[in-house]
Copies of this chain bind each other. A is one copy, B any other.
Amino acid sequence: MPVKLSAPTPASLLPVRGIQLGFAKAHVRKPNRKDVLVMTLVEGSRVAGVFTKNRFCAAPVILCKEYLAQTKGIRALLINTGCANAGTGENGLNRAKQSCEALGTLFNLQANQVLPFSTGVILEPLPVDKVIAGLPAAIANLKEDNWLNAAEAIMTTDIVAKGTSRRLVLGGKQVTITGISKGSGMIHPNMATMLGYIGTDAAVSQSALESIIQHAVNKSFNCITVDGDTSTNDSLIMMATNQAGNTEIIENGADFITLRDVFTDVAIELAQAIVRDGEGATKFMTVTVESGKSEAECRKVAYAIAHSPLIKTAFFASDPNLGRILAAIGYAGIDDLNVDNLELYLGNETGTDVLVAEKGGRAVSYREEQGSAIMKESDILVRVVLNRGKESITIWTCDFSYDYVKINADYRS
């Protein structure tokens, strides 16, 4: 088993008024595990979503986008693990639709008021009969204080359940925000085999919620990578149930930035938890690229570092093989990069920040013992200063271990 990073299952998650959650063990793929989750939303709730940009997006993603465009009256979410219903063509779309119809019938809703989500093996038909057969059990245990069970129900290769809560006061009213996520491989911006659900009981206008989700995803789920693979099923949903009694938050109005930043903070915590639970991960790496000419070029450098199997295996080995980082900076695709001008630092969460390379080579002041000491830690900061502009970016990734290979070689067996 991989040495796990410090992302413990949360002790508890706060209920959000207006959102109920219920799960079932429906044997979608494996027996005796929670694999179907139903979430219901009180009437008048607002929902916004962002989805994978993969051209091979899964059937449920296609339906989610269609339904969100058709109606503002989303009232339920239906999530299954075990099968991604991706690469399944027309048949897959029909099966996803069928599952929404079935849940809709039980609640007296239109099919397009139910958003479907699937995660698991690609290219296999969704066992929709099993999902539907699980609905009564899921509905039977629907309750507001069920987020932790929900976080467990959406896990696939995840080792820990991921969730977090915040409480704040908006316009004199107490407001709760709770989010859960899943994902541990095939993680890459735009987005990952990553499902995320963040709900609040605050009153938020539709356009404010859309604005918040875009901001939050750019600062969180679009800044993580495990293996560079962008999945077919990534979905992030934000929900606001209007149960807190606050004055509706509108875009750029009072408390908008406050709420947006708390949502973003929750999204970052959920996104980082995915990286910490990265398949086989033993190290959490923060890669910051500073003073670039554009955010785009900073991203190129950051992802060249974060995707390099050579760097990721060196981190796994706690080996300060920093030349591999310089090589990655060099092939990141900045054609006019002057390598003599940049600096590379290695640090940790407690403030250590060692200059490793400058002037095209190893810094004179650098000692291998310094690099070795940092490399033994589980949270490591790689900081590149390009010295050619004012933009910067931070992304998060993990190392690459025997267990990554093992988990992904054995996934279907």
Q: Which among A227, A323, A362, A410 has the highest number of chain B CB atoms within 10 Å? A: A323
Contact among B122, B227, B230, B335 with A309 in the assembled complex (CB-CB below 8 Å): B227
Inter-chain contact A401/B405, CB cutoff 8 Å: yes
Contact among B123, B335, B411 with A322 in the assembled complex (CB-CB below 8 Å): B123
Q: Does A389 belong to the interface (CB within 8 Å)?
A: no
A406: B residues at CB distance < 8 A: 402
Contact among B316, B340, B359 with A409 in the assembled complex (CB-CB below 8 Å): B316
A228: B residues at CB distance < 8 A: 307-309
Inter-chain contact A121/B323, CB cutoff 8 Å: yes
Query: Shortest distance in angstroms between A356's beta carbon and chain B's nearest beta carbon?
Result: 9
**Interface of chain A residues 77 through 117 with chain B (CB within 8 A):** 84, 86-92
Query: Shortest distance in angstroms between A403's beta carbon and chain B's nearest beta carbon?
Result: 9
Inter-chain contact B331/A122, CB cutoff 8 Å: no
A86: B residues at CB distance < 8 A: 323, 326-327
Q: Does A44 belong to the interface (CB within 8 Å)?
A: no
A54: B residues at CB distance < 8 A: 327, 330-331
In the complex, A339→B54 CA distance in Å?
10
What string of 1s and 0s marks CB contacts (under 8 Å) between A315-329 and chain B?
011010111101111
Contacts A88-B361, A123-B361, A357-B123; A327 near B230 (Cβ below 8 A)? yes
Query: Shortest distance in angstroms between A385's beta carbon and chain B's nearest beta carbon?
Result: 15
What string of 1s and 0s marks CB contacts (under 8 Å) between A383-413 and chain B?
0000000000000000011101110111111
A229: B residues at CB distance < 8 A: 308-310, 324, 327-328, 331
Contacts A400-B405, A412-B321; A227 near B310 (Cβ below 8 A)? yes
What string of 1s and 0s marks CB contacts (under 8 Å) between A224-247 and chain B?
000111111000000000000000
Query: Shortest distance in angstroms between A157's beta carbon and chain B's nearest beta carbon?
Result: 11
Q: Does A360 belong to the interface (CB within 8 Å)?
A: yes
Q: Does A57 belong to the interface (CB within 8 Å)?
A: yes
A323: B residues at CB distance < 8 A: 84, 86-87, 121-124, 232
Of chain B, the residue at the smallest CB distance from A340 is B89
Query: Shortest distance in angstroms between A212's beta carbon and chain B's nearest beta carbon?
Result: 26
A314: B residues at CB distance < 8 A: 408-409, 411
Of chain B, the residue at the smallest CB distance from A330 is B56
Task: Classify chain A's interface size.
Answer: 35 or more
Q: Does A296 belong to the interface (CB within 8 Å)?
A: no
Of chain B, the residue at the smallest CB distance from A233 is B327
Of chain B, the residue at the smallest CB distance from A87 is B326
Q: Does A169 belong to the interface (CB within 8 Å)?
A: no
Inter-chain contact B55/A339, CB cutoff 8 Å: yes
A402: B residues at CB distance < 8 A: 402, 405-406
Inter-chain contact A413/B91, CB cutoff 8 Å: no
Q: Does A196 belong to the interface (CB within 8 Å)?
A: no
In the complex, A71→B324 CA distance in Å?
33
Q: Does A257 belong to the interface (CB within 8 Å)?
A: no
Inter-chain contact B56/A123, CB cutoff 8 Å: no
Q: Does A218 belong to the interface (CB within 8 Å)?
A: no
Query: Shortest distance in angstroms between A226's beta carbon and chain B's nearest beta carbon?
Result: 9
Q: Does A373 belong to the interface (CB within 8 Å)?
A: no
Query: 18 other contacts beyond A229-B310, A229-B328, with CB at 8 A cut-off?
Result: A53-B331, A55-B330, A86-B327, A87-B327, A87-B357, A88-B361, A89-B340, A90-B361, A91-B361, A121-B321, A123-B326, A309-B404, A313-B404, A313-B405, A314-B411, A316-B409, A319-B409, A402-B402
Listed by A's residue number, 14 A-B pairs whose Cβ atoms lie within 8 Å are A55-B334, A55-B337, A87-B327, A87-B362, A88-B360, A89-B362, A121-B323, A122-B324, A123-B322, A123-B326, A123-B362, A186-B310, A228-B308, A229-B328
Interface residues of A (CB under 8 A from B): 53-57, 84, 86-92, 121-124, 185-186, 188, 190, 227-232, 307-310, 313-314, 316-317, 319, 321-324, 326-331, 334-335, 337, 339-340, 357, 359-362, 400-402, 404-406, 408-413
